[in-house]
Structure 1
């Protein structure tokens, strides 16, 4: 693992155990199983959403973007961490928390959007006992 990746792990470590996975030529960072940051071309980006994005923009941070095979530029919800935040874990902590909060909101939104599975209809106890009893035979007079 390179020195910059090690630094980013150290910067995120106050949030909890950090796991790193290679992805798309870069690296993805997970805290508590939530994908919340990435490194691409030697730059560190944190997840944002509608709640946190303006803080990153106000700090002069730029979004992570990439070019598709068709030559289109795609902007993502990840913004570069402020340069000064890369100096120490205490300086990164407020920004890292914003990234983790955005990742948590995204994960919760996915859970809410998942279609609810309906459990198979269960027979009531009365239906089960009625099914076990043979039906009364009707006589010619129509009585049971």
Structure 2
């Protein structure tokens, strides 16, 4: 039996489950920019500039949501992402994409924009490092300390 060549082996390599659906969702949400699909423990994470705007779990697209955007999703019957962990049901800040939004990138565009809005709002401010916090304290101490006055009045 002849051995496979490197190119034959590479071509035969199977794609992960759900990769085609993840690619399709990236095409739908292309209005956000360069969107990338990465494997996650539940399925896939869809990100733009390292901001996760959607996840795919159990062959369902869930878009990022928050308190401001969730009412828009609820109004069209979207379901909140829930999963079981340690015997408890956990709800996450993602909602299913509306049915019609999966038909075209034009239909997905407003929902993708809401997901991006929620992802940007979820960003936490950068923490200061210990060194920079110490430097700020020293700078404040120097500006607050009054020099001694020598001599008589």
1:67 equivalent among 84, 95, 98: 84
Q: 1:103 aligned to 2:119?
A: yes
Residues 34-67 of structure 1 show CA distances to partners (whole Å, capped at 9, x for unaligned) of 1110000000000000110000001100011110
| CA positional deviation for 1:115 | 5.2
Alignment match, 2:151: none
Q: Aligned-pair distance for 1:97?
A: 0.3
Corresponding residue for residue 72 of structure 2: 55
CA contact (8 A) 2:23 2:37 kept: no
Which ranges in structure 1 are unaligned for 5 or more consecutive residues? 125-144
For residue 107 of structure 2, give the secondary structure of its aligned residue in structure 1. Answer: helix
Question: Map of 1:1-144 to 2, 5 A cutoff?
Answer: 1=15, 2-68=19-85, 70-107=86-123, 110-111=124-125, 114=127, 117-120=132-135, 121=138
Please provide the CA RMSD for this pair: 2.3
Q: Across the two proteins, how many residue pairs are aligned to each other?
A: 122
Q: Is the 8 A contact 2:63 2:96 kept in 1?
A: yes
Task: Compare CA radii of gyration and give the structure with the larger one.
Answer: 1
TM-score under structure 1 normalisation?
Answer: 0.77
CA distance in structure 2 between the partners assigned to 1:72 and 1:15 by the alignment: 34
Output the CA distance in 2 between the equivalents of 1:103 and 1:48.
Answer: 8
For residue 122 of structure 2, give the secondary structure of its aligned residue in structure 1.
helix
